[in-house]
Amino acid sequence: MSTHGEQASIGKVLSFLQEWDHGNKTARSRMLEAFLTQNSGKTFVELEREFAQVASLFLSRLTTWMRLTYMFGTYLGLQLKAIGVFLSASSHDQYLREFLEDGGVLTLLDVLGQTQTQEEDKAEALRLLLTISNAGRKYKEFICESYGVRAIAECLATSITEETQEAAWALLESLSRGNPKHQHQVYKGLIALMPCTSAKAQQLVLQTLRMVQSKVKTVHPSIVEPLLNMLGSLRLEVQDEAINLILDLTEYEVRPVLLSGLVALLKPAKEEVQQHHMLEEPEMTEITLSLSVFVQQAAAAKAIRLLAETSQELSEELLSLGVIHHLLYTLGNRDHTEAQVQASLALEHFVRSYPDIEEHVHRAMGSTLFAAFMSAACSVFTMSRLRSAMQKGKRASLELTETTKPVRKRSKAAVKEEETTTTASPSTYHTFHDPADVVLLRSQLLNWYDKGKRELPWRTAAMTEPDLNIRTYAVWVSEIMLQQTQVATVIDYYNKWMKRWPTVQDLAAATLEEVNQMWAGLGYYSRGKRLHEGAQKVVSELKGQMPRTVESLLKQLPGVGRYTAGAIGSIALGQVTGAVDGNVIRVLCRVRAIGADSTSPAVTDALWGLANMVVDPERPGDFNQAMMELGARVCTPKGPLCSQCPIQSHCHSYRKVYAKQEKNSKRLLGKLDRLPSTLPDIEDCMNGGSCPLCPMEPWDDELGVQNFPRKPVKKPPRVERTLTCMVVRSGEEGGDEYLLTQRPNKGLLAGMWEFPSLLLEGENSEMKQKGALCAEISRVLGVQLNKSLFQYVGEVVHIFSHIHQTYVVYSVCLKDSEETQTQTENTQWLTRSALQEAAVPTGVKKILKLYDSVESQEEQTSKDGKRKKTAGVKNDKKPQTSKKAKLSAANNGTRQLSLSSFFKTVKEES
Ligand code: SF4
Ligand code: ZN
């Protein structure tokens, strides 16, 4: 007979289960949250007590629900955690057995294989499997017999977070322990994982392999090839682990194959060398491909030295394989410092250990070089040619020298210089070391671009215009317009421009005035002027033929810099070159975690190197536009849309943010200690503080991926005040005419027309300002005016990108005097309609607007409603009073633009 308490408790459980059975997914998620809060960490006995000895009923419901819903990810994280409460309940394995019987392990393994499963859920599933595996041999066997090793290995190879990788690694490690029946299966699974692309996964695999290897006692010969390949990893951690495993394996039957493989790596196969010479891709791609061969060469030399130092027996085996000849060959590779250093250290070991080798090498090097070599083997041979070749974009070649004259001795100063620069050379973390990654990135980006690119008129021209000259011209015009101006603004200007001047010849025949007029409103007027100059140059000096290469675009066209030449060259001419603009800088800095000042020479070089490396050789123009479009639409300066990013899997900053979030949440949940923490963080640059590409500032969690790129602090805009005067006279046809003067041909608004102006220095009284303007206008017109004629109108603010300009506006109305007929080359009188049509800067238009607004106010407020214009008509009011009066009048008026609202409409000219 059960007690009253027991009955109550059974009732409670039954109603809980009933609620579960009838609840929808939201209700169930709430129940799971409550369950986790109340039961996490409980033992078997405690759980049984809580659930009236029938807790299994709930576990089996949970297992079933997971099996039915894991593919949709419905609260999968919560379900896994709740199951974890049961599986980790210590002191009894009843729940484990029941979970296995209900097919729970198979479901967990399926969860690992689902591409849509979130990384954190995979990690949770792996932790549950680890709990099961740690429960004993029979559980390990069950997992292995359910094809678990393959599922876990695949998960390790494809996962992108350290948390998942470490969880998978811990599980494989557990499965290999105390599981003799399946040790070989785990061992082979690990070998199959060796070629995976994630460096972290490779490092974990190698660590586990070393451990498992010591247990399985025999070596599978298929391990040799991937192991030697791993020496080409640009990650030192991976290389070191690979070398350690090689050292271990010399105890086994694969030793001869391994040793001869290592020696062969010192001398890359002819086809490999030729292949690198023949590549027509940009230099950076070639160098990176070669780099892996060189890195492998260096690591092989290092492994050989370590082996030779281990035992005389190994040394002699290596000698019998011709290692000296091969080391001398590596020593001749002046394109990779590390290969030279490692070969030189290995050679030194043999020279010091064997007198006949000493004699042989002495003879091969000659006395002077040999003496230098023996006194400082690692520094005499260090060279930074590879890096300088990369910086200069020069084609690197292997330049393998004859063994009799492998190296030349260099001056101490040179050695010192190279040593210093070597320490500051950028880490491979900031580039792509696996060509397969580059290929993948290209296809991901181009797929995304093809699906959703914006249709823009210049893109259509680049695709459809068969005439190369017109195509290049069209792209050139678009690129110049797009410098500093948004796409949306440019479209209209571009269409009008191409309609008016469809060829470079048409543009060359236009006047600068017409060009300026067309450009009005786009800002940065010198761009239009340079386009015009360029067109005239093409017609007069290049026989009307647009340049055909990036170099000649750069050299021949004014206003075309490195980026514009790259963009025109790739888009219009199909040249295989990168194009680094602001958008591309941002994307590349984020993708490769480049956080140093993005305007520094080191970063600029690195970004161009990267852009040249990743550009798709088949579709360079589309690729560059895709990068720019990604920067403009997805990888935006603020609020980047990483979840929609097609190249997210290559993005170091994204991974960094993700990894940090993971770590923080682990810390919060107190799980950080569950997994070994001795592993180095391979998501960081290995050069640390000395890296010229890493940020100086510490990582800011709040910024996330926006930690990259970093810009130097922007200088505040220069504040200027300029006196300007509307000089008005009555024209011949009765209307007013306005005096304009031309600005100098260089500098701000070069060659543009404006109202006569004077830069204001210091604060002046109104009288002084009038005096200065009077003198200036008198000079321009060649007449002597009276300063009392000048009247204060108001102020206009106009913001250029680097100047905060305030125009202090005066006006003067002149009598219809013959004296004002004077007209010089740099002055002109324009009627109101001509002025409205003229190509004048936006600032002038704003001044005109202000003038009209004030004029109109005066008309409105004048008593008789009429305004008679006489010589020196305007009252000489104090500026402040007059301004206030005008302002208040303007505010009361209905039709006129008030000064305050006018100032509000002043927008930055970009
Ligand atoms: Fe930019 Fe985010 Fe894509 Fe990285 S993942 S490239 S930060 S949008
Ligand atoms: Zn770095």
Q: Helix 312-320 vs helix 337-353: angle between axes, to the nearest 10 degrees? A: 110
Give yes or no for residue 647 CB within 6 A of ligand 1: yes
Considering the candidates 173, 479, 629, 737, report the single residue annotated as catalytic: 479
The pLDDT of residue 868 is above 50: no
Q: Which residues are placed with Cβ below 5 angstroms of ligand 2, an ion?
A: 427, 685, 687, 691, 693-694
Contact (CB, 8 A) for 13 and 51: yes
Q: What's residue 822's pLDDT?
A: 64
pLDDT tens for residues 450-493? 998 888 999 999 999 999 999 999 999 999 999 888 899 999 99
Q: Distance (Å, rounded) from C-alpha 798 to C-alpha 836?
A: 19
Choose between 257 and 818: higher pLDDT.
257
Give yes or no for residue 504 CB within 6 A of ligand 1: no
- What's the gap in Å between 582 CA and the centre of ligand 2? 21
Cis peptide before 709 (omega within 30 of 0): yes
- Tokens (6 digits) for 466: 């068969």
Q: What's residue 270's pLDDT?
A: 52
Give yes or no for residue 590 CB within 6 A of ligand 1: yes
- What's the gap in Å between 565 CA and the centre of ligand 1? 26
CA 100 to centroid of chain Cα atoms: 46
Give yes or no for residue 306 CB within 6 A of ligand 1: no
Predicted confidence band of residue 683 (pLDDT cuts 50, 70, 90):
low
Q: What's residue 182's pLDDT?
A: 83
The pLDDT of residue 701 is above 90: no
DSSP state of 144: H
- What's the gap in Å between 389 CA and the centre of ligand 1? 30
Residue where the block lists tokens 């011949």: 732
CA of 310: how far to CAs of 227, 258, 304, 354, in Å?
20, 15, 10, 15
Residues of the chain above pLDDT 70, percent: 81
| Mean pLDDT of the chain, nearest integer | 79
Residue among 584, 614, 630, 635 to mutate when testing ligand 1 (max atoms within 8 A of CB): 635
3-state secondary structure 452-477: HCCCCHHHHHHHHCCCHHHHHHHHHH
Q: Distance (Å, rounded) from C-alpha 676 to C-alpha 19?
A: 41
Residue among 649, 653, 660, 683 to mutate when testing ligand 1 (max atoms within 8 A of CB): 653
Contact (CB, 8 A) for 386 and 287: yes
- For 336-358, what is the mean pLDDT? 83
* Closest ligand by atom to 689 CA: 2
Q: Please measure the distance between the N-terminal and C-terminal CA atoms of the chain and give it in whole angstroms.
A: 87
Give yes or no for residue 607 CB within 6 A of ligand 1: no
The pLDDT of residue 383 is above 60: no
DSSP state of 871: T
Residue nearest to atom 4 of ligand 1 (CA): 651
Question: Which H or E element spans position 243?
Answer: helix 236-249
Residue nearest to atom 2 of ligand 1 (CA): 642
- What's the gap in Å between 640 CA and the centre of ligand 1? 7
Q: What's residue 401's pLDDT?
A: 26
- Residue 473 CB neighbour total at 10 angstroms: 28
Predicted confidence band of residue 635 (pLDDT cuts 50, 70, 90):
very high
Q: What's residue 150's pLDDT?
A: 84
* Closest ligand by atom to 595 CA: 2
237 carries an active-site annotation: no
Contact (CB, 8 A) for 130 and 170: yes
- What's the gap in Å between 630 CA and the centre of ligand 1? 9
Ligand 1 atom nearest residue 630's Cα: 8
Ligand 1 atom nearest residue 644's Cα: 8
Residue nearest to atom 1 of ligand 1 (CA): 635
Q: What's residue 277's pLDDT?
A: 37
- Tokens (6 digits) for 19: 């609620």
Give yes or no for residue 593 CB within 6 A of ligand 1: no
Give yes or no for residue 587 CB within 6 A of ligand 1: yes
Predicted confidence band of residue 817 (pLDDT cuts 50, 70, 90):
low
Q: Distance (Å, rounded) from C-alpha 872 to C-alpha 392?
A: 67
Which of 238, 191, 154, 198 lies closest to 183, judged by CA? Answer: 191
pLDDT tens for residues 770-813? 999 999 988 888 888 888 889 999 998 888 777 888 999 999 98
pLDDT tens for residues 218-247? 888 889 999 999 898 877 778 888 999 999
Which of 42, 73, 72 lies closest to 58, judged by CA? Answer: 42
- For 553-573, what is the mean pLDDT? 94
Q: Is 795 helix (H, G, I), strand (E, B) or coil?
A: strand
Give yes or no for residue 708 CB within 6 A of ligand 1: no
- For 569-586, what is the mean pLDDT? 95
Burial category of 677 from C-beta neighbours within 10 Å (exposed 0-12, middle 13-18, buried 19 and up) = exposed
CA of 225: how far to CAs of 186, 215, 220, 262, in Å?
19, 21, 11, 10
CA of 93: how far to CAs of 86, 99, 685, 712, 847, in Å?
10, 10, 45, 61, 86
- Tokens (6 digits) for 222: 């298929």
Ligand 1 atom nearest residue 642's Cα: 2
Give yes or no for residue 130 CB within 6 A of ligand 1: no
Which residue stretches of 634-696 are H helix?
652-669
Give yes or no for residue 654 CB within 6 A of ligand 1: yes
Predicted confidence band of residue 538 (pLDDT cuts 50, 70, 90):
very high
Give yes or no for residue 646 CB within 6 A of ligand 1: no
* Closest ligand by atom to 642 CA: 1
Q: Write phi, then psi, for 763 (nearest 5 degrees).
A: -90, 125
Task: List, in sequence order, every residue forming a beta bridge with 722; answer none if it has no partner.
Answer: 759, 807
Which of 768, 863, 878, 757 lies closest to 809, judged by CA? Answer: 757
Task: List, in sequence order, every residue forming a beta bridge with 830; answer none if it has no partner.
Answer: 738
Give yes or no for residue 589 CB within 6 A of ligand 1: no
Choose between 300 and 367: higher pLDDT.
300
* Closest ligand by atom to 602 CA: 2
DSSP state of 677: -
The pLDDT of residue 636 is above 90: yes
Q: What's residue 216's pLDDT?
A: 80
Characterize the bridge pairing of strands 753-754 and 736-742: antiparallel
Helices and strands (DSSP H and E) totals, the chain: 44, 7
Ligand 1 atom nearest residue 708's Cα: 7
Q: What's residue 377's pLDDT?
A: 57
